[in-house]
């Protein structure tokens, strides 16, 4: 039987709805045989996921999705096959955590100025031990009737240029790639078509990514069209990167995004798992 890889998803350690155990079990029930958990700026879910994956016989690859700044733009860099205990990576994660914490307070302050009070406290309770993300704010705004969908929360409050947007000084692209490589991992450019950037811009970013030691790019993700695959395939080939694929699964409530469910990788690409 061929392996079924899903190398990008989230648990309650960041903005996912399922615990690491639930996620690993769901992945297996959906036919995934090799799963990477890649929570936003945290490895907190990896120990539990590793243990449960071993128990149920699912292949597991420790991962992370790091937020990085390049030319004033936030890019997401997935680190795959990392050593979660590497001190350089842990130090980087601690810095990102402090940035997230401060940003969350600032977002809450901005919402308060818009007459929406008590958000920070509510979100801290909800996120528990997990990293706070803008998804948590979107959920709050939706659940309290300020917007009619998560998407509207981003469109009206949380996206760049909106009243509760906070510019964030994430670590640089070079720094996060350094952390991933120090931890023995492979750095992968996440969802290159989801930043709404021109192909010219993305080609520049990918050149910098490659120079800094980046090795992979997500060619296939959930809800990607044939035309979009053609573009990400070109990125992959032009920069001689290894090809990755992942659902970016967050919640069973989103019927359009499921673990293991996305088109197959185009042939002639070298899969990223050959580097593991």
Contacting residues toward ligand AMP, per CB under 6 A: 15, 40, 67, 133-135, 150-151, 154, 250
151 binds, among ligand AMP, Mn ion, none (CB under 5 to 8 A by kind): ligand AMP
The pattern of x and - marking residues 75 through 114 that bind Mn ion according to CB under 5 A reads -x--------------------------------------
Contact status, residue 260 vs residue 27, Cβ threshold 8 Å: yes
Instruction: Pick one of ligand AMP, Mn ion, none as the site partner of residue 221 (Cβ within 5 to 8 A by kind).
Output: none
Of 41 and 48, which has the nearer Cβ to ligand AMP? 41
Nearer residue to ligand AMP within complex by CB, 28 or 133: 133
Half-sphere exposure of 28 (CA within 13 A, CB side): 15
Cα 214 to Cα 130: distance, rounded to the nearest angstrom: 27
Query: What are the CA-CA distances from residue 98 to residues 89, 104, 194 (Å)?
Result: 14, 10, 26
Q: Which does 154 bind (CB under 5 to 8 A by kind): Mn ion, ligand AMP, none?
A: ligand AMP
C-alpha torsion angle, residues 242, 16, 82, 246 (rounded to 10):
-20
The residue (of 78 and 269) whose beta carbon lies closer to ligand AMP is: 78
Task: Give the residues across from 19 on adjacent strands.
Answer: none
Specify the residue, 112 or 172, whose C-beta has the smaller distance to Mn ion.
172
Near Mn ion by CB under 5 A: residue from 248, 249, 260, 272 = 248
Residue 150's binding partner out of Mn ion, ligand AMP, none, with CB under 5 to 8 Å set by partner kind: ligand AMP
Q: Select the binding partner of residue 139 from ligand AMP, Mn ion, none (C-beta < 5 to 8 A, by kind).
A: none
- Nearest to ligand AMP by Cβ — which residue? 133
Residues 242 and 216 sit within 8 Å (Cβ to Cβ): yes
Among 5, 6, 12, 15, binds Mn ion (CB under 5 A): 15
Place of tokens 């593991």: 276
Closest CB to Mn ion among 175 and 248?
248
| Beta-ladder partners of 218 | 244
Q: Which is nearer to ligand AMP, 28 or 222 (CB)?
A: 222
Measured distance CA(199)–CA(196) in Å, rounded? 9
17 versus 270: smaller Cβ distance to ligand AMP: 17
Find the residue with minimal CB distance to Mn ion: 76
Residue 232's binding partner among Mn ion, ligand AMP, none (Cβ under 5 to 8 angstroms by kind) is none
Residues lying near Mn ion in the complex (CB under 5 A): 15, 65, 76, 190, 248
């Amino acid at each position: 039987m061929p392996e079924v890889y899903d190398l990008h998803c989230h648990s309650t350690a960041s903005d996912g709805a399922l615990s690491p155990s639930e996620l690993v079990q769901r992945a297996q029930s959906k036919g995934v045989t090799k799963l990477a958990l890649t929570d936003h700026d945290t490895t907190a879910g990896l120990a539990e996921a590793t243990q449960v994956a071993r128990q149920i016989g699912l292949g597991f690859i420790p991962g992370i999705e790091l937020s990085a700044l390049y030319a004033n733009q936030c890019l997401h860099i997935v680190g795959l096959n990392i050593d979660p205990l590497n001190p350089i990576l842990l130090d980087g994660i601690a810095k990102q955590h402090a940035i997230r914490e401060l940003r969350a307070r600032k977002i809450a302050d901005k919402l308060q100025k818009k007459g929406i009070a008590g958000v920070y406290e509510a979100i801290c309770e909800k996120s528990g031990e997990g990293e706070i993300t803008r998804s948590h704010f979107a959920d709050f705004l939706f659940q309290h009737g300020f917007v009619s969908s998560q998407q509207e929360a981003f469109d009206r409050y949380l996206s760049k240029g909106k009243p509760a947007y906070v510019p964030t000084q994430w670590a640089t692209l070079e720094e996060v790639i350094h952390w991933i490589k120090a931890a023995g991992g492979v750095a992968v450019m996440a969802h290159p078509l989801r930043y709404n950037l021109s192909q010219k811009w993305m080609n520049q970013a990918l050149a910098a990514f490659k120079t800094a030691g980046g090795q992979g790019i997500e060619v296939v993700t959930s809800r990607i069209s044939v035309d979009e695959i053609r573009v990400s395939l070109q990125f992959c080939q032009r920069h001689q990167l290894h090809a990755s694929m992942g659902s970016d699964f967050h919640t069973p409530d989103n019927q359009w995004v499921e673990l293991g469910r996305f088109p197959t990788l185009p042939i002639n690409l070298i899969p990223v798992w050959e580097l593991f």
